[in-house]
Amino acid sequence: MKALVYGGPGQKSWQDVPDPRIVNPTDAIVRIDTTTICGTDLHILKGDVPAVQPGRILGHEGVGTITDVGASVGNLTVGDRVIISCIKSCGHCANCRTGLYSHCLGDEGQSGIGWIFGHLIDGTQAEYVRVPYADNSLHRLPEGVSDEQAVMLSDILPTGFEIGVQYGRVKPGDTVAVIGAGPVGLAAIATAGLYGAAAIIAIDLDENRLEQARTFGATETVISGSGWKEQVLALTDGQGVDVAIEAVGIPQTFEMATRIVRPGGNVANVGVHGKPVELHLEELWIQNINISTGLVNANTTPMLLKLVAQQKLPAEKFATHRFTLDNILDAYDTFSRASETNALKVVIT
C-alpha cells in the first residue's frame, strides 16, 4: 500500500510500504476512506516529538471501512464504516476503567503517548491501518454522518470538549474565554455552547480565525494584541471570565489565560507546550484559581457522534480544503501555510 512515512526532522515521503496485517486477535484492519492532518503532525515533522522515529507512518485521525477483523473482535464486522479514535485503548485496564484512555496499560504494559496512532504505532495517513483493541478504538458510523464530519471526532472535537470544556468545568451561564481559534480552540468554542455558556470570547492573532470562531458560536472576539486584556475585562464588567481555555501551546498564551480568570475560576490548558511554562503560583493561589491540563482520552467520541448526527455540533464546518491521498504532500503544504491559505482542516480522501 501507499503511506506517508516520517523520515526524520523535516522529511516525509508518500511511498510503498507492506500492507498491515492482523497481529493480535483484538485487531482490525481498516481501509482509510478519509483522513486529515493535525498540528501535532507538524510538531513531529519539526522533530519536536523525539519518541516518533523515522519509518513511522504518520496520522491519528481517520474514517474508514473495516476489511479484516481478529478472532476476538466482537462488536464490529468487515464492511462496517468506522471512526478511528486518535488513541487506541483496551477499555478494560485500570486506567481505561477510569476513562483515562490516553494512559491505557494495554496488554503490553505500555502507556501514554505510544498509544496515539502515528507515534509508536503506525498511523492513518495511509491506504490501510491496523487498529489494536478494535472494539474500543473504533466507533461504527450511523447513516447520515458524512466522513468529513466524522473525521473531526477522531481528535479535535473530543480534545476541545474533554480537555477544554470538561476539565474547565464550564457551567450554564458561564463566561468562557478561548485563547487560540485553531481547530482545537474552535472545537472548545462549539462544545462550550453545549453547556449553555452565556458568553464565549474567542482570542486570536488572526482575523480570519476570529471570523471562523463566530460561526462556531463565539459571542465576542478579541484580537490578541495591545489592549486585549482590558477588552476581555470590559466584557466581564471587570470581573474576569469563569473559564479560560488555552488552545495555542506557547508560554505567552498560558500566561494570558491565567490573567483573565475571576477569583475561583478555572484555567484549562489544552495546548501542547514544547517549552517550560512559568507558573506564578502565589498569584494564582491568592485568587483560588484552578488549573487543569491533559492529553485527550477520546472517551466522549460516541456521545459527540450522537450530537453530530443530530446536527447539534457543526463538525462539517472544520473542513476547508480537500485533497486525494495521492496528493497528501500538497495537503501538508496547504495546512502548514494556514495563515496564508486560511486552512482549518484539510480533508484527504
| Contact flag: residue 163 with ligand NAD (CB under 6 A) | yes
81 pairs with which residues across the strands? Answer: 65
Applying CB under 5 A, among 4, 96, 307, 319 the residue interacting with Zn ion is: 96
Give the span between the Cα atoms of 36 and 334, in whole angstroms: 12
CB of 129 vs ligand NAD, minimal distance in Å = 19
Q: Does 40 bind ligand NAD (CB under 6 A)?
A: yes
248: partner contacted, choices ligand NAD, Zn ion, none (Cβ within 5-8 A by kind): ligand NAD
Please report, for residues 72, 230, 310, the alpha-carbon distance to residue 148 in angstroms, rounded to integers and kept in the order given.
30, 38, 15
Asked if 145 is part of the footprint of Zn ion (rule: CB under 5 A), the reply reads no
In angstroms, what is the C-alpha Rg of the chain? 20
CB 192 within 8 A of CB 164: yes
* C-alpha cell of residue 126: 495511509
Choose among 64, 101, 75, 84: nearest CA to 153: 84
Nearer to ligand NAD, 4 or 247 (CB): 247
What's the first-to-final CA gap in the chain, in angstroms?
15
CB atoms within 10 A of CB 322: 14
Q: Report how far residue 269's alpha carbon sits from residue 79's, in angstroms, rounded to the nearest whole number.
A: 39
Q: By rule CB under 5 A, what count of residues binds Zn ion? A: 5
Q: Judged by CB under 6 A, which of 134, 248, 260, 261 binds ligand NAD?
A: 248
Q: What is the DSSP letter of 93?
A: S
Our finding on whether 255 is near ligand NAD (CB under 6 A) is no
Q: Does 134 bind Zn ion (CB under 5 A)?
A: no
Regarding 197 and contact with Zn ion (CB under 5 A), the answer is no
Is the Cβ of residue 40 or residue 89 nearer to ligand NAD in the bound state?
Answer: 40
Of the pair 227, 264, the CB lying nearest ligand NAD is at 227
Q: Quick check: helix, strand or coil at residue 216?
A: coil
- Choose from Zn ion, ligand NAD, none: what does 138 bind? Cβ within 5-8 Å by kind: none
> Is 295 an interacting residue with respect to Zn ion (CB under 5 A)?
no
In the complex, which residues of this chain contact ligand NAD (CB under 6 A)? 39-40, 155, 159, 163, 179-185, 203-206, 209, 224, 247-249, 252-253, 270-272, 295-296
